[in-house]
Amino acid sequence: MVALVLAAGIAAPVLAQDVASIEPTAVVIAPPLTPLARIIKDGLSQAYYGATRDSQAYSEAQKLYFLYGERHFEPIWITTAANGAVTFSPSAEKIISLFKAAETEGLRPNDYLTPDIDLARARGGDPAALAALETAFSGSVLRYANHLHNGRIKPQSVSELLDIQPKPIDQAGLLERLAKSDDPAPILAELEPKHPEFLALKAALANFKAANTARPTPIGDGPVLRPGGEDPRVPLIRARLEVADTTSTLYDTDLVTAVETFQESLGLEVDGIIGPATIAAFNGGNATRREDIIANMERWRWMPSDLGQFHVFVNIPEFRLWIERDGKPEYTTRVVTGTVKNQTPIFSDNIRHIVVNPYWNVPSSIIKGEIAPAVLRNPGYTDSHNMDLLYNGSPVSPWQVDWSQVSTSYFPFKVRQRPGASNALGQIKFLFPNKHDVYLHDTPSKSLFARSARAFSHGCVRVENPMEFADALMANEANISRTSLEAMFGPNERWVNPEKQIPVHLAYFTLRVEPDGSIRSFGDVYGHNEKLIKAMGLASSTGVPQIIAEAENVPEELSP
């Protein structure tokens, strides 16, 4: 036996759990003891050493080689009867039935019922064919399990700002449990998300064809429509809201009234303007597309299995934040998120610090793109914006700098904004240190919270009612409250460290399921949904909604 240390690629022995890191695992490669085991070893060796390193084929072959190596390369799915006949096990046949029904999970049967499995089964009892069937089937089982647990698509292939890592699976233990079980379905079901919204979307997918006859035509994307305007989509909107004269393309007074009532019923900005947020709302409920259901199920598979008993959940397309306890909301408020150009990243972390009267340490991208040119035009810019110019960590007066030696390409200063009423972070920020340098914070710019579409920041998340949020966030802290935090207001930055870290999830769901089971739709502000639909090979009937269109005539703000 040869003991090997397997680095990244084989998960630690835990099933359906999130872990921060996976330590190297000692794996024993045992010699084959039977002719069939030797054939299995030879086939796995060829696949392993013949694959291109770092490819998906190499990763899958490596996993199977080590998994089978631990068990002398003996088969898991092939059984030998008393008369010597070799057959596929009953457990494997039941798993094949699950593969055939993969569409009910939002997955594709042909990802698991691969041609090599069909070919090997057709060749019957040929030992080489049985060995090929054994290893091909194990590969399909692990692929199916990973798709259930982590989704089909690697998030970073949609956008590098989807900073999501796969959750580990005890692959050897899973195969052993499945092989020994009379009913593999519940074992594989353990890997699915347990969140009620995922389960509701799965139910909606199952009922999609049955409800298709009553499904209204989705309303397509287009320019923002204001009262008095004309648009070819107006007849569809009239029909949806049951307004008379469904053939007219004029956005008249009667339709404006109906739209305002619709907006009010869903908590949208009641302005009678039909922008991407209102179009997205029209396309919820019975108008929801099948591909949207599947894409949102996929994103639930990207989420941590356990969101935390007490956590913060920010849904970017919804521009809203919740504090949830035991799966139920305790507090909610509106938020402003990043623009299409400066997108808020998608990831999970833990809130560790609260900062009262914060300095704003201006990111280098904003210094280079906005502040440096402004200072070069007017050295008094930093003073007028309550900012410090820092050189080697110490403040310097802009009037003592020889600006003829400085340019936007060579700007050797850092910039910070001092605490105060005009500070871009307002009076408080909530930190979960991360590589993206984003966080939740207050803002002196309150007017944007009244809009339905609120993608205006440089990437951070602005909170409409930050002190109410702080009070709800500190519900489990005996020594921290809104009152104690407000007592710190003043000219000096103050750091507060809660005893318990609080999970925070910056998420991206264009469909949300209400408690009554109805589905609400939200605009695909960054295009992540349509890109995922394309990556999954699903049909799409509309283009990418650019929800930022509602932000027209809003000036660029110097803020995070």
**36 vs 200 pLDDT, higher one:** 200
Report pLDDT for 215. Answer: 67
460-474 average pLDDT score: 97
| Residues facing residue 495 across a β-bridge | 355
8 Å CB contact between 142 and 175? yes
Could you say which DSSP state residue 12 is in? -
Which residue ranges make up each domain of the chain? 2-190, 212-287, 299-358+425-560, 360-418
Q: Is the separation of the CB atoms in 244 and 254 below 8 Å?
A: yes
What amino acid is encoded at 511 in this protein? Answer: L
User: What is the percent of the chain with per-residue pLDDT over 90, rounded to a whole number?
Assistant: 54
Q: What are phi and psi of 361, to 5 degrees?
A: -85, 105
Q: What is the mean pLDDT of residues 301-308?
A: 97
Model pTM?
0.83
Fold of 212-287: Muramoyl-pentapeptide Carboxypeptidase; domain 1 (1.10.101)
Whether the pLDDT of residue 332 is over 90: the answer is yes
Alpha carbon distance 376, 381 (integer Å): 9
pLDDT at residue 549, as a whole number: 38
State pLDDT tens for residues 117-145: 777 666 666 677 777 788 889 999 999 99
Look at residue 540 in the predicted model and tell me its pLDDT.
Answer: 58
Comparing 221 with 551, the larger pLDDT belongs to 221
Sheet strands (E) in 204-344: 310-315, 320-325, 328-338
pLDDT at 342 over 70: yes
Lowest mean pLDDT among 146-160, 206-220, 309-323, 334-348: 206-220
Q: Please tell me the distance from the alpha carbon of residue 3 to that of residue 445, in angstroms, as a whole number.
A: 62
Average pLDDT over residues 79-95: 76
**Which of 147, 385, 441, 458 is an active site residue?**
441
In this prediction, residue 543 carries a pLDDT of 43
| Confidence grade of residue 558 (pLDDT, cut at 50, 70, 90) | low
Residue 325 pLDDT exceeds 50: yes
Which residues on adjacent β-strands are paired with residue 513? 519
Residue 348 is predicted with a pLDDT of 98
Select from 434, 499, 506, 507 the least CA-distant residue to 473.
499
Q: What angle do CA 497, 501, 502 make, to 5 degrees?
A: 120
Torsional class of 510: left (φ above 0), alpha (ψ -120 to 50), beta (otherwise): alpha
Predicted pLDDT of residue 210: 62
Note if 441 is an active site residue: yes
Which of the given ranges, 53-67, 443-457, 469-483, has the highest pLDDT on average? 469-483
Mean pLDDT of the chain: 86
3-state SS class at 508: coil
Active-site residue, selected from the candidate residues 72, 147, 149, 460? 460
> What is the reported pLDDT for 452?
86
50 or 97, which is more confident?
97
Is residue 159 within 8 A of residue 526, CB to CB? The reply is yes
pLDDT of res. 79: 73
pLDDT category, 4, cuts 50, 70, 90?
Answer: very low
Percent with pLDDT over 70 in the chain = 88
Residue 221 DSSP label: P
Listing DSSP states for 153-216 in one string gives S-GGGT-TTB---PPP--HHHHHHHHHH-S-HHHHHHTTS---HHHHHHHHHHHTTTTTGGGPP
At 496-509, the pLDDT tens digits run 999 999 999 999 99
- Dig out the tokens for 537 from the structure: 């090979």
CA dist 443 and 429 (Å) reads: 9
What is the structure's pLDDT at 241? 86
* pLDDT on residue 201: 96
Average pLDDT of span 101-113: 95
Half-sphere exposure of 252 (CA within 13 A, CB side): 11
pLDDT of amino acid 9: 37
* CATH, range 299-358+425-560: 2.40.440.10
d(CA 67, CA 138): 10
Reported confidence tier of residue 468, pLDDT bands at 50, 70, 90: very high
**The token pair that represents 420 in the structure block:** 């105060």
Give the residue with greater pLDDT, 548 vs 172.
Answer: 172
Closest CA to 172 of 325, 78, 75, 66: 66
Tell me 220's DSSP state: P
Tokens of 419: 């605490």
CA distances from 321 to 313, 335, 463, 509, 514 (A): 6, 6, 8, 13, 15
Q: Cα–Cα distance between 368 and 389 in angstroms, integer?
A: 13
- Name the residue with higher pLDDT: 270 or 429: 429
In this predicted structure, what is the pLDDT of residue 351? 98
The length of the chain in residues reads 560
DSSP 115-147: HHHHHHHHTTT-HHHHHHHHHHHHHHHHHHHHH
pLDDT at 447: 92
> pLDDT: is 173 or 21 the higher one?
173
In the chain, % helix, strand, coil (3-state, to 5) comes to 40, 15, 45
Whether 478 shows a pLDDT value over 80: the answer reads: yes
Q: Is 311 designated active site? A: no
Residue 544 has pLDDT above 60, yes or no: no
pLDDT value of position 60: 80
- 3-state DSSP call for residue 2? strand
